[in-house]
Structures are given as structure tokens and as C-alpha cells.
Structure 1
């Protein structure tokens, strides 16, 4: 059955796809952190994300077998930490781009491309969501 499901997903079957948005809508979107992800700032001013492990039956079994810690940690670098702190539900993507461009003396285009890819990675890992006003 998994092979059938994978094949159907390839031709546009069961998987729900995210709606396409315009560039203007993407720049006006507001990144919001996942409420289940705890975070803290370490001594080197890096953000450390604490992602909870699965708590369903299979997750608990695997955690016992492999003696996994309660949370998985991801340490963000300097710029990643800045972006994470700006994903507070108040700043738009465009505001984050302008802030990073001025702080790091980079061109707007460089920051926009890098930030877009980084936010997509965070969203794919379900660490953030994007609120789009239409």
C-alpha cells in the first residue's frame, strides 16, 4: 500500500499542496514560530531550538529502545538566530529583509534570496508557519 500511495502522490493525488502566493503576498506574510518548539539563547548568543520528540505509541517505544533525549536540539548560527528572533508574529518578511540588509550591509536581493530559502527550510521542518493576509 505505501508504494501505491507514493505513486498517487507523484501524480497529484492525496497530498494536499500549499496554495501558491504572489511575491507581494509572500513579502507581506508574517512568520510565526511553532508554539510547541521551545527555544533559548546560549552563552554565545546563539538560539538553541528544543524540539519535542514524538509522544505517540511508536515514538515512546523508539525513545525507550534508543534512550533518546526528551528533546532534539538545533543550534542556529548568528544570522539564523537573528531571523528566529524576528519571526515573532509581528514582523513581515519584508521588514526582516530590510533589517538584515541594513545590519549586515548586504544588498536587498541577496538577503531576499537567502531569507526565502531559509524560511522555506524552517517551514518544511514545521518550525515556523507563515500568516498570509489576503
Structure 2
């Protein structure tokens, strides 16, 4: 019996729960399309606590962040409707771009991670 690949390792369970999570667009974000088939997502930012005079005199503060999504990012954004889970989106991406599941999973999850860090997406995990 090979014990190097047990079926229910914590890492495998984490991937399963991640695949069942639902990416949701930031409801406070606004979007606009440009001429190059790109989508600009505008997210409001909170002013950091350290932004007070004299620091605020020298360090500019922008009350919003713009994230430009190319055609692929735009398609992923549209699929993040709160109804589809990550696995479904990976399957759609895999089929659209003719990739293996693993290739699609790597690309989609990395992209989602960046969008979450930028405040564009949130990931909702089921309680189960």
C-alpha cells in the first residue's frame, strides 16, 4: 500500500473546498469598457490611517483603484456571477481555450488570487 498519496490529506481537502468556493464580484466596483475589448474595474479604496499631515502633503492618495482586465480577464469577470463555483469556471475556461483541467486551474486560480488582492473579487466558501 502506497502511503505517499493518501486520499484525504489536508492539502487535497483544501483544494476541494477551494474548487467549490464561489467567486463574487465586488458590488461596490463599477465597470466600463474601452475600445480595445478591455474592461476597466474601478474599486474605491479606504484612506490609510497614516495619511494625515504632514505625510498627506507629500504622499498622494487616490480614493479609487482602476484594474484593467484584458479579453481573457473580462471573460473570467463575467463568469464570476456568484452562482458558479471555481470548478465550473475552470471547466468553462478549459473548454473555451482548449486547455487541460490542470492548466486551466493554475491560470484561473492565479488570476483570481490577484483580483482578490486588488479588491475586485471576493471568494465565498460554503460552510460544509
TM-score in same-fold range (> 0.5): yes
The corresponding residue for 1:83 is 76
Counterpart of 2:98 in structure 1 is 105
Aligned mates of 2:80, 2:62 — CA distance in 1: 27
* 1:36 is aligned to 2:28: yes
CA contact (8 A) 2:46 2:63 kept: no
Structure 1: state its 5+ residue gaps: 1-19
Question: In structure 2, how many angstroms separate the alpha carbons of the residues matched to 1:63 and 1:106?
Answer: 48
Residue 86 and residue 27 in structure 1: after superposition, are their counterparts in 2 closer, same or farther (change >3 A)? same
Give the Cα–Cα distance (whole angstroms) in 1 for the partners of residues 83 and 115 of structure 2: 17
Cα RMSD, aligned residues only: 2.5
TM-score, normalising length: structure 1: 0.70
Match of 1:126, SS state, is coil
State the shift of 1:87 in Å: 1.1
1:1-134 aligned at under 5 Å gives the runs 22-54=14-46, 71-133=64-126, 134=128
C-alpha distance 78-63 of structure 1, shift in aligned 2 (>3 A): farther
More displaced stretch, 41-50 vs 83-92 = 41-50
The runs of at least 4 aligned residues of structure 1 exceeding 4 Å deviation read: 55-70
- Please name the residue that 2:4 is paired with: none
Distance 2:56 2:40 in 1: 21
Q: Which has the larger share of helix?
A: 1
